[in-house]
């Protein structure tokens, strides 16, 4: 009768003051599911499973035994088999970022000539399984060669000599082959003079603090290894050297389930790879299956109506399955110490617990994506989220508002910065996947300063000016300067990138002896600018010409239709006749 560890392990970041606690209701549901199916599926000797959720931390649960009366423990490591491939693909991408190699290079640049291996195959085609290279591992007669030589160290070059006829012309089909990754690991070594095990540790394991993962044969295990059972035979005491040097970079890694979900969160949650590499990793190609496509060391398919990424792995004595929901940001790992086993199905059922109990992924946030400092209030909303009883909003620095509903009203502070508005549905089991809107916060223009030289108002802002009088915005007065025609109070507001400044200082314009009321708007002076003579559209009984200092230059007391400007200096003047005031420019 099986013995089960009936405790869910809540993995806390003990070294951090901000440790996350996994939701206890969700942890209980996961452990209950694990216990039920490990008990029901007799071919699962033992299993370790972990779930990583953003904001929740990591849950780990175990069931079954390593061997008689020795239950599986969370610290035990399992062979992850083909889940090694994502580590190798990410390592190759990191080397491409460092310009050590290129995905578009032919493999013939790095390896010698081998029968049935086209040297024009590119590194990308290896990682996508579109090379056409056949897979000799785990098929006769080479499977027997490995089994009969359990302690022998097989080299990649030796294994490459086993390759049979191509499955198809390079780039003209899709066919899964472990040899693609054996060759990729060798190319990484040729490009750097370091074994792929060293590169994985330097570029992935150490930066992500994955301290419970190791490359078999090349490295020692950092913890206890679960006994491996192959066709119900305990093979723990059998050497793994032949198996894991033949498979090498196609499947030689061991890990705990908690390290594996942290790995998936690290590489697929963003941060390990640059944006170009991430796009390469998740650019999926057709495989011939209606709902199964393949990226670089990672699969894309649909389970329970959700698009997920992941990979499976099988080797003599171990099976593994990874599931990653890019919407929720959730990673699920199931590791078993027996082959065959139903661990893949149990892992998917654990994922379904998340998909069923947690709120659905959020729909896009709706609202202005470009805002101004000091602007508001602005309302943002998201369509209602299935399964949510409330909503959690996160705002960029300098944006203020609170809400537990599907909308939030925000005030943009004067020091606000660009960032993301994020919303998640919430219920008793935790938060669902987030939706975000990138917000660009445009700084307000600097408050302008205006001056008056006696004739012209000038703003210190070159662009974006709008002049105002006491009556409001002055039509078409949008230049850096403005020449007032009546006594009034003037100011300016600057607009740049759709954002307005505070109002400038105010300047009171007065013309000595010149009335501030302008009447008879039908009255016209011409030509203006004047050269020698200034004509009127109707007879003036009396008029005077005043300079910008308020001094009367010419006084005409007789009725007339014109005024001589001969001999006057060039400049701005004002003609006054009763309540009529007009600005005149003289260009003698």
**343 occurs within a structural domain:** no
Over 80: is that where the pLDDT of 549 sits?
no
Helix (H, G, I), strand (E, B) or coil at 112: coil
Among residues 460, 374, 468, the alpha carbon closest in space to that of 412 is found at 374
567: left (phi over 0), alpha (psi -120 to 50) or beta: left
How many structural domains comprise the chain? 4
Q: Which helix (H) or strand (E) holds 313?
A: strand 306-315
How much of the chain exceeds pLDDT 90, in percent? 79
Distances (CA, A) of 125 to 30, 153, 268, 281: 38, 27, 21, 12
Residue at token pair 């260009």:
587
**340 occurs within a structural domain:** no
Helix (H, G, I), strand (E, B) or coil at 319: strand
DSSP 56: T
Single residue among 474, 509, 544 that ends a domain in this structure: 509
DSSP 36: H
Over 70: is that where the pLDDT of 12 sits?
no
237 plus 298 within the same structural domain: yes
* pTM for this entry: 0.79
Please enumerate in sequence order all residues whose Cβ is within 8 A of that of 534, keeping only pairs 6 or more positions apart, or say none.
525, 526, 527, 528, 562, 563, 564, 565, 575, 584, 586
Please give the mean pLDDT across all residues of the chain: 91
Burial class (CB in 10 A: 0-12, 13-18, 19+), 340: middle
Over 50: is that where the pLDDT of 298 sits?
yes
What number is the average pLDDT over the span 525-542? 88
437 plus 456 within the same structural domain: no
Please enumerate in sequence order all residues whose Cβ is within 8 A of that of 260, keeping only pairs 6 or more positions apart, or say none.
50, 80, 83, 213, 320, 322, 331, 333, 335
Task: Provide the residue range defining the domain that includes 430.
Answer: 370-442
183 plus 94 within the same structural domain: yes
Per-residue pLDDT, 17: 32
Per-residue pLDDT, 580: 79
What number is the average pLDDT over the span 317-333? 97
Could you give the CA distance from residue 494 to residue 502 in angstroms, rounded to a whole number?
8
What number is the average pLDDT over the span 159-173? 96
Cα angle for residues 472, 474, 480 (degrees, 5° grid) = 120
pLDDT band at residue 511, thresholds of 50, 70 and 90? low
277 plus 411 within the same structural domain: no
Q: What are phi and psi of 200, to 5 degrees?
A: -60, -40
Distances (CA, A) of 344 to 34, 139, 244, 320, 539: 12, 22, 22, 7, 101
Over 60: is that where the pLDDT of 160 sits?
yes
Over 50: is that where the pLDDT of 542 sits?
yes
582 plus 456 within the same structural domain: no
Q: Which of 305-309, 347-351, 544-548 has the lowest mean pLDDT?
A: 544-548
pLDDT band at residue 7, thresholds of 50, 70 and 90? very low
Among residues 501, 75, 17, 472, the alpha carbon closest in space to that of 258 is found at 75
Q: Which of 217-226, 401-410, 577-586 has the lowest mean pLDDT?
A: 577-586
Q: Which helix (H) or strand (E) holds 185?
A: helix 178-192
120 plus 217 within the same structural domain: yes
433 plus 469 within the same structural domain: no
Residues in the chain: 588
294 plus 420 within the same structural domain: no
Among residues 47, 44, 4, 7, the alpha carbon closest in space to that of 28 is found at 7
Per-residue pLDDT, 6: 33
DSSP 13: -
Q: Name the token pair of 9.
A: 């392990």
Could you give the CA distance from residue 277 to residue 279 in angstroms, rounded to a whole number?
5
How much of the chain exceeds pLDDT 70, in percent? 95
The alpha-carbon radius of gyration of the chain (Å, integer) is 38
């Amino acid at each position: 009768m099986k013995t089960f560890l009936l405790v869910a392990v809540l993995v806390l970041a003990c070294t951090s003051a901000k440790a996350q606690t996994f939701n206890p209701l969700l942890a209980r549901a996961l452990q209950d599911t694990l216990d039920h199916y490990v008990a029901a599926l007799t071919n699962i000797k033992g299993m370790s499973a972990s779930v990583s959720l953003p904001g929740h931390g990591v849950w780990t649960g175990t069931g079954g035994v390593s061997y008689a009366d020795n239950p599986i423990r969370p610290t035990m490591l399992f062979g992850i088999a083909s889940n090694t491939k994502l580590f190798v693909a990410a390592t190759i991408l990191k080397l491409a970022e460092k310009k050590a190699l290129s995905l578009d290079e032919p493999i013939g640049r790095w390896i010698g000539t081998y029968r049935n291996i086209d040297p024009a195959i590119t590194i990308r085609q290896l990682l996508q399984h579109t090379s056409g290279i056949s897979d000799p591992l785990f098929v006769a007669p080479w499977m027997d060669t490995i089994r009969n030589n359990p302690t022998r160290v097989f080299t990649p070059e030796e294994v490459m000599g086993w390759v049979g006829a191509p499955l198809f012309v390079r780039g003209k089909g899709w066919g899964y082959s472990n040899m693609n990754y054996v060759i990729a690991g060798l190319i990484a070594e040729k490009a750097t003079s370091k074994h792929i095990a060293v590169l994985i540790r330097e570029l992935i394991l150490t930066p992500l603090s994955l301290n419970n993962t190791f490359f078999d044969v090349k490295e020692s295990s950092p913890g206890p290894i679960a006994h491996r059972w192959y066709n119900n035979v305990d093979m723990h005491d059998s050497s793994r050297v032949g198996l894991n040097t033949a498979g090498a970079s196609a499947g030689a890694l061991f890990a705990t389930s908690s390290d594996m979900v942290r790995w998936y969160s690290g590489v697929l949650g963003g941060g390990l790879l640059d944006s170009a590499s991430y796009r390469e990793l998740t650019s999926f190609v057709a495989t011939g299956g209606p709902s199964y496509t393949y990226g670089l060391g990672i699969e894309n398919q649909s389970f329970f109506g959700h698009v997920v990424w992941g990979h499976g792995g099988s080797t003599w004595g171990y099976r593994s399955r990874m599931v990653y929901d890019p919407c929720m940001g959730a990673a699920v790992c199931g590791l078993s110490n027996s082959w065959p086993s139903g661990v893949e199905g149990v892992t998917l059922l654990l994922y379904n617990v998340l998909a069923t109990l947690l709120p659905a992924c959020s729909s896009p946030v709706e609202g202005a994506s470009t805002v101004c400092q000091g602007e508001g209030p602005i309302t943002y909303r998201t369509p209602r989220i299935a399964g949510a009883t409330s909503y959690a909003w996160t705002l960029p620095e300098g944006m203020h508002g609170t809400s537990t509903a599907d909308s939030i009203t925000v005030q943009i502070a004067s020091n606000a910065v660009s960032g993301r508005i994020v919303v998640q549905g919430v219920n008793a089991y935790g938060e669902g996947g987030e939706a975000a809107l990138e917000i660009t916060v445009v700084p307000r223009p600097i408050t302008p300063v205006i001056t008056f030289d006696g004739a012209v108002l000038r703003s210190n802002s070159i662009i974006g000016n709008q002049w105002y009088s006491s009556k409001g915005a002055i039509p078409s007065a949008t230049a850096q300067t403005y020449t007032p025609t009546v006594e009034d109070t003037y100011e300016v507001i600057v607009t740049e990138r759709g954002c307005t400044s505070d109002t400038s200082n105010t300047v009171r314009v007065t013309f000595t002896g010149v009335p501030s009321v302008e009447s008879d708007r039908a009255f016209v002076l011409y030509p203006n600018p004047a050269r020698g003579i200034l004509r009127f559209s109707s007879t003036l009984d009396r008029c005077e010409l005043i300079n910008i200092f308020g001094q009367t230059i010419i006084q005409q007391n007789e009725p007339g239709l014109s005024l001589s400007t001969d001999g006057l200096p060039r400049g701005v003047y004002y003609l006054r006749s009763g309540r009529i005031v007009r600005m005149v420019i003289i260009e003698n």
